[in-house]
Each structure stands twice: as C-alpha cells, then as structure tokens.
Amino acid sequence: MERFSKEGRTLVCFDFDETYFPHACTPEQLEGVRRLEQFLEQHAHRFSTMWVTGSSFESLAEKTSRASMRYFPHRIASSLGTELYHVNDKGGLELDTVFQQMFPSDFVERVNRTIEVLRRLGIELEPQTSIGRNPWMYNYYYHGDDMTTLQLIRSLVEEAGIAANVSRCNPLAGDPDGSYDIDFIPHGAGKTAAVDYVCEHFSFRSEEAYAFGDSGNDLEMLKRVGNGYVLGNGTEQAKKGHHRVTEKSYAAGILEVLTREVE
C-alpha cells in the first residue's frame, strides 16, 4: 500500500466501518473507494488523513485486504481511539505510547466493578467476541432500547471514573438489530480524544479539520471539528444528531465534500 512521505496541513478524519469501508463491498462501492484513494493521493499536499475507528488494528488489516485498498492514511486511531499509530519516516506504522500513558492503570478493575453492579441490578451485557482483545477497550451489546437502563449505564460509568460509548448498533456493519453498543474505554481515550491529541501535538487547527462518520459514536468527533459530516448512508440516530448530512453515501459522500474544498 502506498503511503505519503509528506502530509498536508488540513486534518481529515474518517470513521472506517460503513464510512470509508463499505461492508457489502459491491463493485460500485469499491469503485468509489478507488476514486477516493486517487483523490487523496493527488491532494496529499493539502490533506493529512486519519482513520478513527472502533475496529482493531488486526480487523483493519483484514478489511483493507478484502477491499484491495492500496492507500493507508498518515494516522490510525483504532480500537475506538485507544490505540494511535503514526506513519514514520520509513513508511511503517508506529504505536504512540505517550498517548496511552494518559490512561488510568486500574481501568480493568473499574470496568469489572461496573459490570458486576449492572449484573446485580439484573442488567446483562453480552460481550462482543468478534472485536479482539485490547486492554483499553471492553465491548458489549445491550439487547434492548430501554432509555432508563441506558441512562443508568451512563451514570454508573461516570461514577466508576471511566468512559463509555453508548450508541445504537448498525446492522450494516454486522451488529445485531435492535441493540446498543456499550464500549468501555478509559478517560482520555476515544475518537474525539484521539483527534484532540493529534491536533494539539501535531499543530493541526481543529476548526479547519474535516471528519466523516455514519453512526452515533461519531457524533462527538463530528461536532468537535469545524467541518463534520454524517454520510448519506448514516444511521437515523446520527442524521438526527448532526446538522450536516451529505447527499451521497460512503466514498461518494466524502468526495462530495472534499472536492468542494479543493475547487
């Protein structure tokens, strides 16, 4: 896969699943990915790119291979923004260990205590076994849509001193219908935290940055930058929660916005 030796000064962040990467991988969708890759290569002097995703690094490797992608971004914030990788001078990816040093050392114990409290209250969360193991991210499904229960989960997470992404599942990405993702992560981690860290440490202006997503767990990131967009294929939750929605879907929706930037 090709990587840029030099990066532009406008940060562009992409959620991966059902944003940059279409799970159906239809010929039309993959042709859109090719056009997007070509565009980003042509405008490397303008844009510094970053995948910001809930997928693990291992899962990204499988998906990029499935779609025959040939382009890697300058940075990858994987596993829901708990791991941050940068392209080094040799074209390889290096883990940013300084970023993870900000996370609390007793994170796992705090998660386990929260899960036990929920169990005693009769609230069972199903572990997500397909995501992989990461000491800074614990993923569950809540099968239901009771808002009181979801608010209780948020309150217990806050009391435990950790953070959680609570968002409606997207069946197009392989999630169960009628359920919610409950993703426990440390304070200081997450999609928005990763974007903030990159802006602060690498001198990007967040008010000039772009971000694209498709689901509820992207909304905070989209609101943090100056140019955040929900794609046309986004979930109803995401579309209702953000004021900028593209007309087109997937890569075509991304290009709809970025081509206006370079004209």
Q: How far apart are CA 248 and CA 35, in angstroms?
A: 14
Instruction: Report the candidate in 153, 63, 64 with the shortest Cα–Cα distance to residue 117.
Output: 153
Give the count of alpha carbons within 13 A of 85, CB side only: 19
| Phi and psi angles of residue 199, each rounded to the nearest 5 degrees, phi first | -60, -45
Q: How far apart are CA 173 and CA 248, in angstroms?
A: 18
Q: How far apart are CA 160 and CA 179, in angstroms?
A: 23
First vs last Cα of the chain: how many Å apart? 27
DSSP string, 85-122: EEE-TTS-EEE-HHHHTTS-TTHHHHHHHHHHHHHHTT
What order do you get walking across the sheet with 163-168 strand by strand? 126-127, 138-143, 179-185, 163-168
The vertex-94 CA angle with 68 and 62, nearest 5°, equals 25
Catalytic residue check, 15: yes
Q: How far apart are CA 123 and CA 237, in angstroms?
A: 23
Instruction: Report the candidate in 84, 149, 77, 81 with the shortest Cα–Cα distance to residue 119.
Output: 149
Catalytic-labelled residue, pool 15, 183, 214, 218: 15
CA distances from 105 to 92, 101, 110, 113, 133 (A): 28, 9, 10, 15, 17
Q: Which residues are catalytic?
A: 15
